[in-house]
Structure 1
Amino acid sequence: MDGNTESGRDDWEIFRRPLFDDPETRALKRVGVVDIGSNSVRLVVFDGAARSPAYFFNEKIMCALGAGLSETGRLNPTGKDRARAALRRFKRLAESMELPTLAVVATAAMREAEDGPDFCDEIARDIGLEINVIEGTEEARLSAQGVLLGWPGSYGLVCDIGGSSMELAAIKGGQVGTCVTSALGPLKLADLNDAKAREKFIRKTMKSLAKTMGTQRDRLFLVGGSWRAFARIDMHRRDYPLHVLHEYRMDADAVAATTEYIRNADLEDLRQACGLSTSRMALVPLATEVLTQLVKTFEPHDIAVSSYGIREGLLYEQMPQRLRDRDPLIEACRFAEAKDARLPGFGRRLFKFVTPLFEGADITRLRLVKAACLLHDVSWRAHPDYRAEMCFDNATRANLGGLKHSERVFLGLALLHRYRNKRSDTRFEPLFALLDDASLQRAEVLGKAMRLGAMLWTSDTVSDGAKLRWNAKTSEVTLHLLPEVADLFGEVAEARFKSLADALGGTGHVEIGALPEG
């Protein structure tokens, strides 16, 4: 259905063998990171497929250590009390989880406050945690590496906004380039009460940043809680159907429209509607002023929100290069299949079975086909009446890197069709608007092909005995079966084959005998 290209390629040739059982990769199991920021203190514990890890544990305490720092030069006393309590809790949690390592990093507030070194010494002495206070450019580099965890090989400008600082880093071809830090964090800007003085300071600082970073007209990646809050408000303004912040896209017009929307809104009503904390909402108008000038200065061709930042960058730092080069989506799906599927390894053979229907597809499309085949059976424990819905929910809302929102919906729809013939009359219909008609059809074809293929093998020891062929010129799909497999093609399989042919807009034929070459 996609033209003509080579088919029947070896799966390992395209995606290479999985690495989650490799000793170097397994050493990254249960990695813990504590991030002491100017606004929050957070513990994240990563687990699962190292290239696309799940958040085994994730807890944040809003401490506002950097509040009032510009005026006093010292950490916020109340914030220090909250941070102490949070760090004691995190230390105990790490011990109970038996984490092999717990990396603790602190950023702008700790490095700028005159009492920052004393507070670090106190935490080391009383709690037993060694805090690594990193420089602004190092913070920028690690945040950029966090973006690369989700977007391998990406390019553009990474902007990480914290409470007391804002960092920029250039990325190109999967590598981090120039990094720079600034004082454009909203907690610092809050100390500039005069709006005109604040605007002048932001514009002057941004001009200086542009001189250092040079021309940046590519994608702008937004990292940090204030940017995510802005994106959530943009979703609310647009009535956007998929409430997943990672890989959410905006453009300059959307930034301008949402800025105006915030300016005219009742902030408390907006906070409640978007599910934001009071402390976070207080910073959003200030962060919006920075974002407006950032977009005007660098004129990115599009804007992407990243949920990955410094914490994920610290994990990326520990990865061998051959793991960094892997596709995070495929590695995560392989891990899910190995952990939850009834027949681990079957997804590879299912991929081989369905790919003749997607001849001409580039690697961008084939990776979605591969991901669907790996995930096709991981929700088998769900009640049959809800299995299709659970598959869709898992694909569209799971913590998966390297997926645009439209690709999430494509993957979810393919898996829905793996268990359900029709997609109408579901609560997911508003999300289908993120796909064009051709993509809707491809997802349906993929799902129905997987549904058929799952009936033609009974165990992972049975040799492949079926092959699909699609002739776009004659609109004919042929199912070739070895004689010893023909008994598996019963009434239900026949009905599923007809449904697949109908989705292709063609006719179906079954041939029993030797399988065709190629």
Structure 2
Amino acid sequence: MISSETTGYYQALVDIGSNGIRFSISDMSPQSSRTMPTIYQDRSGISLYDAQYSTGTKAPIPFTVIQEVLAALIRFKSTCNDFGVLDSNIRVVATEATRNAINRDDLLGAIEQKTGWTVQLLAKEEEGRLGAMGIASSVDDLKGICMDMGGGSVQLTWVVKRPTGDIEMGPSTSFPYGAAALLAELSTREQVGLEEEVCTRLQNAIEKELGIPQWLWEEAIRNNGFNLYLSGGGFRGWGHLLMSHARIQPYPIPIINGYRVSNLEFFPNISTPLDGSKSHRISTRRASQVPAVQLLLRAMAKAQLQVSYATFVQGGVREGLLYEGLPPPIRAENALVAATLPYAPPSAAAFHQLLDCFTLVTAALRVATINLLYTHGPITKDIRAAAALRSTTTGILASANGLDHLERGMLALILCERWDADLPDTDTGLLNSMIEVCGPYLSWCAAFMGRIAKGIASLYPAGLVKEGGQKVSLETIFPQASQVPESNSPAIPESCHLKINLLSEDVGTVSLVNDWAKDLAKLGKKKHWHNGIKGLNVHIEVVPARTA
């Protein structure tokens, strides 16, 4: 229910871009501000770039198009009123196509007259800075080069997100090589010459304009390239196209944010025309711009921009405007932890402490598992596991900002196993695809974590540990670490010794723990590894209460 206490934190944004106009209302309440929950969003397909170049030569924005823009803004103003957004919490910004329009003053004046809103024209540098901040809002561990490809321009800068939440970035460089702009250039210019021009501009920016710190250069050399973070409609369209051609089909996570590919995956088929018209989330307009995106990618390759991996993100100028207003301690919060915190059980802190020793998965995943430990309990038993498996893609975390695909895949597998992985036939394909996304070893770790979580839930069915009522403590030992798993992962131990110390002599507790131990031990046997997936030899020891 909407109340005045809540609406005071609502912030509405209008981003008038080159390819379209985006509208959103976000809830920036203190308890959820890290993930910047969007409570309303819409997009108008009005292209101010096309409106100015429909004849092939730049012209003023037609009166009819200005009227369409006004109608869209007036509708959104009514929506803001319905949600109770304060007038002081509504911002309207505009970028390349408006900034360079011949009759921009006519457009801006008409908007102010009809809506009362003053449009903030973003300079090139400010647009690049805000785009980079938007990328930072969508990635917890950010260190590399950010690129934002809109319709009219491309922004480029280096960014580092510190553990304190402080954001460091270099000067932003802007090129008139957006997807729509390049496509228009391709219709009148020879492709090779245009490609060489873009390549030269990129080389000059990387070597002279961006001011990339020496330490970041050295780190890129050690890692066989920079980490590249990509935003904007042009790049997101390319990401969805890559997703539709990925090795795993159908690809199980239909969310662009956090989709990561290697250098070889990022630059495939850049000289071969690709049809994106049948790919998920690629409109007819975006599909027509694929050749322009491929030209930019070829120029990047020729400019010898060494890329270790590329991560596609949802965040852009809109998200950057919100994120820059957050204090560094809030920006420093882990997105996965923040997104799951509202679902935490009463004794979440005690459960987190219980799992401190379980380092097979990240601390953020351990916290998120506990926070969602009971969320799917009210659902009928027949579909609990299926709902848990889908929770990170089409369920309660579908809209969570800042999660990458590995986190979504791992948490889905953990929660599915927590409910016995009892799936209907319709969902077994999704399970197998999630396993492929995470890889053999990490999938096994997720399953083991799920069984640990199931045991905790059985011991504490209400999610509550009463004073002095802790029933077990856990200890883990990893004696060996000689094998190397998927790229960029730490060494894999060959075995795991889990000691369950009983702190209660209650017969019911002892019985539950013994059953739990048998269940965990089964997963350590090769014949029980998922489809032959690599796992660990697991040794379970239950220590009676009188000797614990």
Fold match, TM over 0.5?
A: yes
Matched, 1:483 2:466: no
Deviation at 1:459, TM superposition (A): 5.3
The one-letter amino acid paired with 2:210 is M
Unpaired stretches in structure 1, ≥5 consecutive residues: 1-24, 338-343
Q: Do structure 1's residue 467 and structure 2's residue 476 form an aligned pair?
A: no
| Residues 221-247 of structure 1: CA deviation (Å, up to 9, x unaligned) | 111111111111111222542332111
Shift of 1:76: 5.0
Which residue number in structure 2 is paired with residue 103 of structure 1? Answer: 91
- Alpha-carbon separation, structure 1, partners of 2:61 and 2:150: 15
Pair 1:86-2:59 in alignment: no
User: Equivalences for 1:327-366 in 2 at 5 Å?
Assistant: 327-337=334-344, 344-358=345-359, 365-366=362-363
Q: Deviations over 1:197-253 (max 9, x none)?
A: 533442343344333125664211111111111111111222542332111123443
- Note closer, same or farther for the CA distance 1:308–1:459 as it changes in structure 2 (3 Å cut): closer
CA pair 28-158 structure 1, distance change in 2 beyond 3 A:
farther
What aligned pairs does 1:117-266 form with structure 2 within 5 A after superposition? Answer: 117-173=105-161, 174-192=167-185, 193-196=188-191, 197-210=193-206, 211-214=208-211, 217-240=225-248, 241-242=251-252, 243-261=254-272, 263=273, 265=274
Letter in 2 for 1:141: R
Which secondary structure state, in structure 1, belongs to the residue aligned with residue 107 of structure 2?
helix
Distance in 2 (CA, whole Å) between partners of 1:475 and 1:158 is: 40
Indicate the residue corresponding to 1:286 in structure 2: 292
Which whole-Å CA distance do the structure 2 matches of 1:204 and 1:76 have between them?
35
**Distance between the aligned counterparts of 2:245 and 2:476, measured in 1?**
44
Note the C-alpha offset of 1:402: 4.5
Shift of 1:306: 0.8
User: In structure 2, do the counterparts of structure 1 residues 79 and 201 end up closer, same or farther at CA, with 3 Å as the change threshold?
Assistant: farther
Query: Secondary structure of 1:74's match?
Result: coil
Could you tell me which residue of structure 2 aligns to residue 18 of structure 1? Answer: none
Q: 1:444-498: CA deviations, max 9, x gaps?
A: 11111111111222453513232123455696544333337x2542756643332
Q: Distance in 1 between matches of 2:59 and 2:416?
A: 56
Identity of aligned residues (%): 22
Q: Per-residue deviation at 1:126?
A: 0.8
Quick one: distance in 1 between partners of 2:142 and 2:452? Answer: 32
Q: Residue 507 of structure 1: CA displacement?
A: 5.0
Measure the CA separation in 2 of the matches of 1:65 and 1:491.
69
Residue 365 of structure 2 is aligned to residue 368 of structure 1: yes
Deviation at 1:401, TM superposition (A): 4.4
Structure 2 CA distance, aligned partners of 1:376 and 1:198?
Answer: 55
Q: Partner letter of residue 363 of structure 2?
A: L
Once the two structures are superposed, what CA deviation does each residue of 1:358-409 show, in whole Å capped at 9, x if it has no partner? 3xx6xx7222112211122223332221111211211245234444322321
Give the letter for the 1:460 counterpart: L
Task: Give 1:38's aligned residue.
Answer: 18
Distance 2:307 2:376 in 1: 40
Say whether the 8 Å CA contact 1:143–1:310 is kept in structure 2. Answer: yes
Assess, with a 3 A threshold, how the Cα gap between structure 1 residues 423 and 179 changes in structure 2: closer, same or farther: same
How far did 1:316 drift? 0.8
2:312 to 294, 305, 312: 305
SS of equivalent residue, structure 2 residue 270:
helix
**1:67: Cα distance to partner?**
1.5
> Structure 1: which amino acid aligns with 2:33?
A
Q: What residue number does 1:19 align with?
A: none
Q: Does the 8 Å CA contact 1:67/1:75 hold for their aligned counterparts? A: no
Q: CA, structure 1 residues 483+186, in 2 after alignment: closer, same or farther (shift >3 Å)?
A: closer
Alpha-carbon spacing, 1:34–1:381, altered in 2? closer, same or farther (3 Å): farther
* 1:499 corresponds to 2:519: yes
2:145 maps to amino acid: L
Distance 1:507 1:155, change over 3 A: closer
Structure 2, unaligned stretches of length 5 or more? 162-166, 218-224, 480-494, 525-536
Partner of 1:440: 443
Deviations 1:122-181 (A, max 9, x none): 111112222111101101000111111122451111111111111112112431222111
Partners of 1:498 and 1:89 in 2: CA distance = 61
**How far apart are residue 256 of structure 1 and its match?**
3.4
Amino acid across the alignment from 2:418: R
2:458 pairs with 1:455: yes
Which residue in the other structure is 2:34 paired with? Answer: 51
Q: Tell me by how many angstroms 1:324 deviates.
A: 1.3
**Which residue among 55, 60, 63 is the counterpart of 2:46?**
63
**What CA distance in whole angstroms lies between the structure 2 residues aligned with 1:487 and 1:79?**
75
Instruction: Tell me what 1:380 maps to.
Output: 377
Question: What is the Cα-based RMSD across aligned positions, in Å?
Answer: 2.8
Amino acid at match of 1:55: T
Residues matched between the structures, number: 476
- Alignment equivalent of 1:296, drawn from 302, 319, 341: 302
**Normalised TM-score (structure 2):** 0.80
Aligned equivalents of 1:59 and 1:422: distance in 2?
37
Greater shift after overlay, 67-76 or 289-298?
Answer: 67-76
SS at match of 1:483: coil
Change (3 A) 1:303 1:459: closer
Cα distance between partner residues in 2 of 1:165 and 1:472: 51
Q: Hey, what's the Cα distance between the residues in 2 that align with 1:515 and 1:317?
A: 54
How far apart are 1:50 and its partner, in Å?
Answer: 0.9
* Kept after mapping to 2: 8 A contact 1:410/1:435: yes
Distance apart, 1:315 and its partner CA: 0.7
Distance in structure 1 (CA, Å) of the matches to 2:98 and 2:262 = 34
